[in-house]
């Protein structure tokens, strides 16, 4: 068995403390990076990506005393354009309590457009030909997203990183 001198023991302790300090610094840097990335993802990236879908336009043809298609499914923010291709005047008028749709008279070849900014089913008819009915169902197909877990994870990682640097862990 070899004996270790006091000087060698002190040098070994210095090397150990240096390696431990570097390890703690590396862990703190990793936690800091994870924290910042989590905060960025929670606060900016995912909501932007989920809301990146542009608004679409759907068309309803008024022809043969009918709305075609009669029932339409769209997403929040989409526009619907009704085009009268009949030889007579028609209207697009809400039959629900929202009163959202009110085209007035649409002559042959005329159009009426409306942007739907709320979820729901909007029923309508032609005021001049009450047997002509239709509906627009508006959905929010963008999944609900909560950034709270990402922000919490980010703050937790940053705090842990600071604690490691200050050697409290």
Report if residue 76 sits inside a domain. Answer: yes
Residue with more model confidence, 168 or 136: 136
Give the model's confidence band at 25: pLDDT under 50 very low, under 70 low, under 90 confident, else very high. Answer: low
Alpha-carbon distances of 115 from 21, 23, 68, 158, rounded to whole Å: 60, 57, 18, 44
Shared domain check, 120 and 87:
yes
Shared domain check, 69 and 135:
yes
CA–CA dist 86, 63 (Å, integer) = 5
The answer to pTM > 0.75 is: no
Going by C-alpha positions, the residue among 117, 118, 62, 64 that lies closest to residue 93 is: 62
Shared domain check, 76 and 111:
yes
Report if residue 119 sits inside a domain. Answer: yes
Shared domain check, 150 and 134:
no
Sign of CA dihedral 14, 15, 17, 21: positive
Q: Work out the burial of residue 62: count CB atoms within 10 Å of its CB; fewer than 13 is exposed, 13-18 middle, 19 or more buried.
A: buried
What's the pLDDT tens digit per position in 141-162? 655 556 667 666 677 777 776 7
Tokens of 8: 């060698």
CA–CA dist 161, 169 (Å, integer) = 10
Q: According to the model, what pLDDT value does residue 44 have? A: 64
Rg value, the chain, Cα: 32
Shared domain check, 97 and 62:
yes
Q: Which residues of 89-113 are buried (b: 16+ CB within 10 A; e: fewer)?
A: bbbbbebeeeebbebeebeeebebe
Segments forming the whole domain that contains residue 30:
13-51+145-165
Q: Is the pLDDT of residue 48 over 60?
A: no
CA–CA dist 45, 118 (Å, integer) = 24
């Amino acid at each position: 068995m070899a004996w270790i001198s006091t000087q060698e023991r002190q040098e070994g302790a210095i090397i150990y403390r240096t390696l431990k300090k570097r390890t703690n610094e590396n862990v703190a840097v990793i936690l800091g990076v994870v924290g910042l990335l989590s905060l960025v993802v929670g606060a900016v990236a995912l909501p932007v990506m989920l809301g990146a879908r542009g608004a679409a336009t759907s068309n309803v043809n008024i022809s043969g005393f009918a709305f075609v298609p009669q029932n339409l499914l769209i997403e929040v923010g989409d526009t619907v354009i009704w085009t009268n291709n009949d030889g007579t005047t028609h209207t697009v008028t809400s039959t629900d309590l929202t009163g959202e749709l009110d085209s007035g008279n649409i002559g042959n070849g005329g159009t009426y457009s409306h942007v739907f900014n709320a979820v729901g089913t909007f029923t309508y008819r032609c005021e001049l030909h009450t047997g002509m009915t239709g509906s627009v169902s508006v959905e929010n197909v963008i999944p609900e997203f909560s950034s709270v877990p990402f922000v919490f994870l980010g703050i937790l990682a940053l705090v842990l990183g600071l604690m490691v640097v200050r050697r409290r862990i």
